[in-house]
Amino acid sequence: MTTLADVVEYHLALVDVLPDPEELRGGSTRPSLPRQYRSMLDRGEDSIAEALAILSDPSAYPAMFHCSAGKDRTGILAAVVLGVLGVPDEVIVADYVLSGRAMHRLVDHYKRAYPDAEEQLTRIAPAMVAADPAAMTAFIAASGPTTGASTTTPTRSVSGAASDTSAPRSSAERAR
């Protein structure tokens, strides 16, 4: 049985600042989103490497990772983890798309919990809930060497980005 005392929490930020709400117009269909994802991957390289180090340690299981919303930053780490595990790109994209349903529920929750912010939430909701497969497909295509992970055609895989990092063990070792 796992108790709360057995839980180890790590804070591994991919970005220090969230985008301005004006940048969110257009949702995940905006052409800049794959570039933003790639930028988050590059800027968060140390955090990605540390997350992979933690997740590669069987004593860290069960494990969970998330961000404040669960689509963009979590989607990037999930894509890297799945890519490293050899999951086909189409499955990674399908996993990302599943985030859209949960994001609708999150926006509804925020509107109920923060009624004074409903107007702003309504304005940025399209970006929050959009999980367009084209955005993740373009991110994957721009994020690593060709691995043939696609089940239809060889594509670039995010697993290549992970192999470019060295995985520091500092936080995992400190937690023990």
Predicted local distance difference test score (pLDDT) of residue 129: 84
Predicted local distance difference test score (pLDDT) of residue 172: 42
DSSP of 104-135? HHHHHHHHHH-GGGHHHHHHHHHHHH---HHH
Q: How does the average pLDDT of the chain come out, rounded?
A: 77
Task: Specify whether the backbone of 80 is left (phi greater than 0), alpha (psi in -120 to 50) or beta.
Answer: alpha
Phi (first) and psi of residue 151, to 5 degrees: -85, -10
Predicted local distance difference test score (pLDDT) of residue 174: 38
Digit-coded pLDDT (tens) for 130-157:
888 999 999 999 886 534 444 443 333 4
- Range with top average pLDDT, 13-17, 22-26, 90-94: 90-94
Can you tell me the distance from the alpha carbon of 152 to that of 88, in angstroms, rounded to the nearest whole number?
A: 9
Can you tell me the distance from the alpha carbon of 107 to that of 125, in angstroms, rounded to the nearest whole number?
A: 7
SS3 158: coil
Residue with token string 């979590």: 74
Digit-coded pLDDT (tens) for 59-81:
998 888 888 777 888 899 999 99
Arithmetic mean of pLDDT, 169-176: 41
SS3 146: strand
